[in-house]
Chain A
Amino acid sequence: MANDNVKRPTREKGEILLEMRDLRIEGESDDVWHQIVKGVDLTLCRGEVLGLIGESGAGKSTIGIAAMGFAHPGCRFNGGSITFDGIDLMNAPEEVKRKMRGSRISYVAQSAAASFNPAHRLIDQTIETETQQGIRDTQASIADAKDLYSRLRLPNPEAIGFRYPHQVSGGQLQRVMTAMAMTCRPDLIIFDEPTTALDVTTQVEVLASIRAIVEEFHTAAIYITHDLAVVAQMAHRIMVLRHGKLVEEAPTREMLAAPQDAYTRSLWAVRKLAKEESTTYDLILKVEHVDAAYGSAVKILDDVSISVPRGRTVAVVGESGSGKSTLARVVTGLLPPTKGSVKFNGADLPPALAQRDKESLRRIQMIYQSPDTALNPRQRVYDIIGRPLTFYHNLRGKALKDRIVELLKMIELDESYIDRLPGEMSGGQKQRICIARALAAEPDLIICDEVTSALDQIVQEEILKLLLRLQAEFEISYLFITHDIATVRAIADEIVVMNQGKVVQQGLKTKVLSPPHPAYTELLLSSVPEMDPDWLTNLLQKRAAKTK
């Protein structure tokens, strides 16, 4: 075996590998230094997997790479100690730390697509650390990399390394990155949200490969994520962080069975939010036998028919590439279909945006995934919400301002927000502004494209509650595009399952979510991580049994 000639240190479980005491890290923004990590203690033993969870801004990633003696540009250590295998990382010379990175402590980043250098082949990047640090020669490194690729169950392990990053799918890249982190058989790997950017079905495969290889080499790991269900599968012990401080720490099973802190409990509240379904035969939107394509290339939508009842929510679920967002573009008129029709309120909608009159434009509004890109950073709330009010309802002056304040009240923000720029608000507040902008037109239908995906769990719950309240108040219909089944449970009346441009299944929520399922729905639903620490193990066993 190629990996036999790597000197592997004795790895006895129980021996302390990494210790952080009262770690403090500060970051600079606008010339002001503020604490990001406010005194965190962390102990990790050899072969142990520690989960770090928390919302964005909790300091998880910062603590993760601090374990490598590294701080992001614009951040610096300002207190405490980090000891890795007897080496004081706070005070070690840069050269010593550099030699340890990649070989003794390695890193797996969130977005594999962005973290691989587009200019080099995967194999060259995989073996870079070992050849550069003179651990092994190129031939042996390549052989070992191929071995790791096959252990991580990558397709065609002999050849895949010779491709460029853009030629390989996201899930495969994430596994190649795990192989890259493994090449030097490090003592510790930092996994920084490695599956967050992946579809659930892909996530299962990546989680399984990561877990298997970490166990096989007895590597210690810090697994960073915001997803409790994922960390439950991966970690022996979990630390919950918030605002740079430790909230709670316990072995995984204990933490899941009996979370002590109120904040920890609130983290999975969204998973319990569930709406009573109801439906009506009064349809607001009917999409009939629609085909759509970009250019003359492959069909993105293939004979898609869906309907949305008035005042109800239809959730469209599927993986990336299933055509969910394209469907939204067809309904809004951004992409005229090549075949089929869109009926709104019983009448045919002109296929292209330019042919639609103001009234039909007003009745369909859209909210996007990322409020950061959907809001003009140079416009104040007054202009953002005021524009559709002036455009559709011809409001000006005092009437306009009164209406904006009223809309702000509806989205639970007070008057003072009227002069704010997007940069002066949190992610959740920005998404509320996007909702108010859509509401301003007084639409019949709002298309929500992954509106909660970029938000933290607690904020997600607030936004979903707001959307439900607005629906009850104004009888708005939602076409709710999402890949997250928990969100579907929380908000949907009906579900449409899409795969590769086709509708696989549609119907009432309880009907779609309860067996028997068509094969694809089954795969999709079974891939959604559950809070049970044995979920992944059981799922893999079940799937293995099935293929036999």
Chain B
Amino acid sequence: MHPLARTILQRLGLGLMTLFIVSIVIFSMVSWLPGDFAKAILGQAATEETVAAFQKEIGLDKPPVQRYVEWVGNVVQGEFGSSFASRVGYKRTVAELIAPRLANTLFLASLTAAIAVPLALALGILAALYRNSLFDRIVNSVTLTTISMPEFFMAYLLMLFLSVKLSWLPGLASVDAETELLERITRCALPTLTLTLVIVAHMMRMTRAAIINLLACPYIEMARLKGMSKSRVILRHALPNAWAPIVNVVAFNLAYLVVGVVVVEAVFTYPGIGQLMVDAVTARDIPVVQACALIFAATYIMLNLTADIISIATNPRLLHPR
């Protein structure tokens, strides 16, 4: 087998194992959450018997190990179970609660990534190319400013100017299944802009640093002594060797777009998965919390795995062994 394929399979296996361990952690953490769903729903006045009956109905009376095995067994088959909020005649599965929210989150994340990643790479390469110039300094200080501001503050600033004062963009990003694509993009403009400003700095700075780091290499001097232009030295000779650190930071930021944007969702009342999870925690809706946590973990693991694979695939030593 090609060593690259073997490495990828190995990493995939490791990723699955990590996910398995994470599922144990999630289950234990959620079990130890203070408070009791049954009491929370039924109120202080409920008798012991009603609480016990309700616990039996939603399966909380079984020992934790059994519950964990059942849960994992179902999840492996793609069955996330029912929300504790289900009633007779009002059946709500976790999947149907999460699906539209996850779709919204992924939409916002993709839209942001589509703008932020190319922008960050371009700015990073240009900053490396014209390093210590006025352009470099401006890009550096602007991105430093945006990364230093708390995201909710940035969100409110943008809302204040672009929505309230200038009325260019809608201030609230409330979308539902019926919203048309174009309308959806317009409504998501402000959250997208906020998130872009938050994540560009990190990626751009890593691109710049990774390239500049390589400029002292003998093969870069060789390229200069071969009469290569400045841009060719950067794009052809430095960049291909700089991918590994860059993709790692990109993956990290993309993961943030999926799992870490609850504050921005809240500001713009965007119905994403982050808000769903916060609500579920408040309501002690354990199946939903667990499912969200598992999705977040899977996102992290998958993106990091992709980054690892790209780092390996751009390294000719591994791609073309002796």
A-side residues, CB < 8 A to B, are 65, 68, 70, 72-73, 98-103, 106-107, 109, 111, 114-120, 128-129, 132-133, 163-164, 166-167, 180
B225 touches A73 (CB 8 A): no
Q: Which 5 A-B pairs have the closest CB atoms?
A: A101-B227, A102-B227, A102-B226, A119-B240, A114-B218
Q: In the assembly, what is the distance between CA of A103 and CA of B225, in Å?
A: 10
B227 touches A100 (CB 8 A): yes
Q: In the assembly, what is the distance between CA of A343 and CA of B240, in Å?
A: 51
Chain A residue with minimal CB distance to B225?
A107
Find A116's partner among B219, B221, B224, B322 (CB 8 Å cutoff): B219
A98 touches B316 (CB 8 A): no
B316 touches A164 (CB 8 A): yes
B232 at the interface (CB under 8 A from A): yes
Chain A residue with minimal CB distance to B314?
A119
Chain B residue with minimal CB distance to A104?
B227
Number of A-B contacts (CB under 8 A): 76
Chain B residue with minimal CB distance to A181?
B226
B126 at the interface (CB under 8 A from A): no
B189 at the interface (CB under 8 A from A): no
B207-235 vs A, Cβ < 8 Å mask (1 yes, 0 no)? 00000000011110111111111001000
Find A167's partner among B222, B224, B236, B320 (CB 8 Å cutoff): B320
B237 touches A117 (CB 8 A): yes
Find A106's partner among B221, B226, B317, B320 (CB 8 Å cutoff): B226
B275 at the interface (CB under 8 A from A): no
Chain B residue with minimal CB distance to A192?
B225
Name the B residues within 8 Å of A101 (CB-CB).
224-227
Shortest Cβ distance from residue A301 to the other chain B in the assembled complex, whole angstroms: 22
Chain A residue with minimal CB distance to B240?
A119
Find A117's partner among B225, B229, B241 (CB 8 Å cutoff): B241
B320 touches A164 (CB 8 A): yes
B89-113 vs A, Cβ < 8 Å mask (1 yes, 0 no)? 0000000000000000000000000
B225 touches A118 (CB 8 A): no
Q: In the assembly, what is the distance between CA of A413 and CA of B222, in Å?
A: 40
Q: In this complex, which of B218, B227, B240, B241 has the most chain A Cβ atoms within 10 angstroms of its Cβ?
A: B227
Question: Number of B residues contacting the other chain (C-beta, 8 Å)?
Answer: 23
Given contacts A98-B229, A99-B227, A102-B227, contact A119 B316 (CB under 8 A): yes
B218 touches A166 (CB 8 A): no
B224 touches A115 (CB 8 A): no
B-side residues, CB < 8 A to A, are 216-219, 221-229, 232, 236-237, 240-241, 314, 316-317, 320, 322
A120 touches B240 (CB 8 A): yes
Chain B residue with minimal CB distance to A65?
B225
A167 touches B226 (CB 8 A): no
Name the A residues within 8 Å of B320 (CB-CB).
163-164, 167
B219 touches A118 (CB 8 A): yes
Q: In the assembly, what is the distance between CA of A114 and CA of B320, in Å?
A: 18
Chain A residue with minimal CB distance to B215?
A73
A167 touches B241 (CB 8 A): no
Given contacts A117-B237, A118-B317, contact A70 B225 (CB under 8 A): yes
Q: In the assembly, what is the distance between CA of A100 and CA of B224, in Å?
A: 11
Chain B residue with minimal CB distance to A101?
B227
Name the B residues within 8 Å of A73 (CB-CB).
216
A106 touches B241 (CB 8 A): no
Chain A residue with minimal CB distance to B239?
A119
Q: In the assembly, what is the distance between CA of A98 and CA of B225, in Å?
A: 8
A167 touches B219 (CB 8 A): no
Q: In the assembly, what is the distance between CA of A115 and CA of B237, in Å?
A: 11
Q: In the assembly, what is the distance between CA of A180 and CA of B237, in Å?
A: 16
Given contacts A115-B219, A167-B322, contact A98 B227 (CB under 8 A): yes
Name the B residues within 8 Å of A65 (CB-CB).
225
Q: In the assembly, what is the distance between CA of A85 and CA of B217, in Å?
A: 30
Shortest Cβ distance from residue B217 to the other chain A in the assembled complex, whole angstroms: 7
A128 touches B219 (CB 8 A): no
B225 touches A106 (CB 8 A): yes
Given contacts A118-B317, A164-B320, A166-B317, contact A133 B227 (CB under 8 A): yes
A166 touches B322 (CB 8 A): yes
Q: In the assembly, what is the distance between CA of A167 and CA of B321, in Å?
A: 7
A and B contact pairs by CB, cutoff 8 A, 26 listed: A65-B225, A70-B224, A70-B225, A73-B216, A98-B227, A98-B228, A98-B229, A99-B227, A103-B227, A109-B218, A109-B222, A114-B219, A115-B221, A116-B222, A117-B240, A118-B219, A119-B237, A119-B241, A120-B240, A128-B223, A128-B226, A129-B226, A132-B232, A164-B320, A166-B317, A167-B320
Q: A70-B224, A118-B316, A132-B229 are in contact. List 10 more A-B contacts (CB 8 A).
A: A72-B221, A73-B216, A98-B229, A107-B225, A114-B218, A115-B218, A117-B222, A128-B223, A132-B227, A166-B317
Q: In the assembly, what is the distance between CA of A410 and CA of B87, in Å?
A: 91
Shortest Cβ distance from residue A272 to the other chain B in the assembled complex, whole angstroms: 35
A114 touches B241 (CB 8 A): no
